[in-house]
Amino acid sequence: MTAAPEIQAIADPVPGAGAPHLPAQPGSGPDFVQLLTPEGERVENADYALDISDDELRSLYRDLALVRRWDVEATALQRQGELGIWASLLGQEAAQIGAGRALGPQDMAFPTYREHGVAWARDVDPLHVISLFRGNDLGGWDPVARKFNLYTVVIGAQCLHATGYAMGIQRDAAMTEAPAAALAFLGDGATSQGEVNEALIWAATFSAPVVFFCQNNQYAISAPIETQSRVPLFQRAAGFGFPGVRVDGNDVLAVLAVTRAALARAREGSGPTFIEAFTYRMGAHTTSDDPTRYRLAGELEEWKLRDPIARLKAHLSRSGKADAAFFAAVDAEGDELAARIRKGTLEMPDPAGTEMFDHVYAEQTEEIAAQRASFLEYHAGFEGDEQ
């Protein structure tokens, strides 16, 4: 990431600040897979050929635009007090749509709390994500039907779940089931959690069909990537014995190609891959955060030039693969989506108090049944009271 001079200045006195910093922006070359330049130029990569139809390109654009629209609407709803908090994916649309679209129907995804784009690609109803941030539930979708796990808020915990799920796939395969893979999402900050490193170790030891998709958006709340690693994150995989690759996370085509290849490799029994999607969190960490306290505006301006949607739009229009009508249609669809999300949010019924007693166990205990009863009795006591 670009460590702005001023932040540099602050950083120097800390012991160890001598260590190398990451490049402002990794150039292309084997260590940085890019298929679409920030200017919208299509470039080839020997290892990751992608032959893709114009329809597909347009539908990728549509996904990118719609999830951004959803994200903008959710942020507005939070500002208006309709959501408790919102974790914006602004700037990470390409990483998430690229990864999400690479998944096959048989694969299982394990998101963090920011993977709204992947949720979209897995056909999760945006309102089922909204309901979590509104405080109505802990995730409203069916993780089994959608093959998209519930959001995991404890940093990194889902990486072991994905690895275990992949071990299950291996065992089912022995019972001749269709090959599948697990896709674990994590952030750059998450790479410092012990459990995440254990997941890498287990995946390597059991050669499990799991792909670790790390969105390096340069920050863990206020902590720049140097806080977690002095060398590029993708390099860590080699030390555990499997391949790591760094892809331009703002290039939906490159992310799609790299993730597809890694999932295919996992499904065919060749083991795990670690993907570092090099991107940028263009918004605040969440609506509770104030990034001006720890990063400079200039940084954002620089990354705007690498906007994931703008570059695909440039490519589509310059190459004549999409016309003004198409973009207008997508915008209109975005407005409809936003309206549906807003309406659905405002009309969302509050959960019943008894809900909290009903899902603690598959086989409810007498203790909880009794507490549920006294809860009802207690509230019945207020019947008629003005309150």
Partner 1 sequence: MTTLTLGKALNSGLRKAMEDDPKVILMGEDIGRLGGVFRITDGLQKDFGEARVVDTPLAEAGIIGTAVGLAMRGYRPVCEIQFDGFVFPAFNQIVTQVAKIHARSRGRLPMPITIRIPFGGGIGAVEHHSESPEAYFAHTTGLKVVAVSNPADAYWMLQQAIACPDPVVFFEPKRRYWDKADVDLDETPPPLLSSRVVRAGDDVTLLAYGPMVKTALQAAEAAAADGQSIEVIDLRTLSPLDLGPVEESVRRTGRCVVVHEAQTTLGLGAEIAARVTESCFHSLEAPVLRVGGYDVTYPPSKLEEEYLPDLDRVLHVVDQVMGF
**Residues making contact with a second copy (CB under 8 A):** 14-20, 167, 170-171, 174, 191-198, 201, 204-208, 226-231, 235-241, 269, 271
By the rule CB under 5 A, 96 interacts with Mg ion: no
Q: Which does 168 bind (CB under 5 to 8 A by kind): Mg ion, a second copy, partner 1, none?
A: partner 1
Question: Cβ closer to a second copy: 240 or 326?
Answer: 240
Instruction: Name the residue nearer to ligand TPP (CB basis): 37 or 286.
Output: 286
Here the tokens at position 203 are 């995946």
d(Cα 98, Cα 275) in Å, to the nearest integer?
12
How many residues does this entry show for the chain? 387
Shortest Å, Cβ 300 to a second copy: 25
In order, the DSSP letters of 292-356 are GGTS-HHHHHHHHTT-HHHHHHHHHHHTTSS-HHHHHHHHHHHHHHHHHHHHHHHTPPPPPTTHH
Question: In a 10 Å sphere around its CB, with 0-12 CB exposed, 13-18 middle and 19+ buried, how is residue 306 labelled?
Answer: buried
Contact between 188 and Mg ion by CB under 5 A: the answer reads yes
**Interaction of residue 230 with partner 1, rule CB under 8 A:** no
- Name the minimum Å distance from CB 128 to partner 1: 12
φ, ψ at 295 (rounded to 5°):
-150, 160
Choice between 116 and 281, CB closer to ligand TPP: 281
Minimum CB distance to partner 1 smaller for 34 or for 163: 163
320 binds, among a second copy, Mg ion, ligand TPP, none (CB under 5 to 8 A by kind): none
Q: What, of partner 1, ligand TPP, Mg ion, none, does residue 101 touch, CB below 5 to 8 Å by kind?
A: none
Residue 114-153 contact track with partner 1, rule CB under 8 A, x = bound: ------------------xxxxxxxx--xxx----xx-xx
Kindly report the backbone phi and psi dihedral angles of residue 273, in degrees, each rounded to the nearest multiple of 5, phi listed first: -140, 145
Pairwise CA distance, residues 328 & 326, whole Å: 5
Task: Please give the Cα distance from 182 to 208 (Å, whole number).
Answer: 9
* Distance, CA of 225 to CA of 7 (rounded, Å): 13
| Binding status of residue 184 toward ligand TPP by CB under 6 A | no
Q: From CA 5, how far away is CA 185, in angstroms rounded?
A: 31
Q: Answer with the entry of ligand TPP, partner 1, Mg ion, none that 114 interacts with (C-beta below 5 to 8 A by kind).
A: ligand TPP
Residue 369 partner contact from Mg ion, a second copy, ligand TPP, none using kind-dependent CB cut-offs of 5 to 8 Å: none
Asked if residue 89 lies in contact with residue 96, where contact means CB atoms within 8 angstroms, the answer is yes
Mention every residue, 6+ apart, whose C-beta is less than 8 A from residue 120: 63, 66, 67, 70, 96, 97, 100, 126
Taking the complex as a whole, how short is the minimal distance between the CB of residue 289 and ligand TPP, in angstroms? 9
Q: Which residues bind ligand TPP (CB under 6 A)?
A: 114, 153-155, 187-190, 217, 219-221, 281, 285
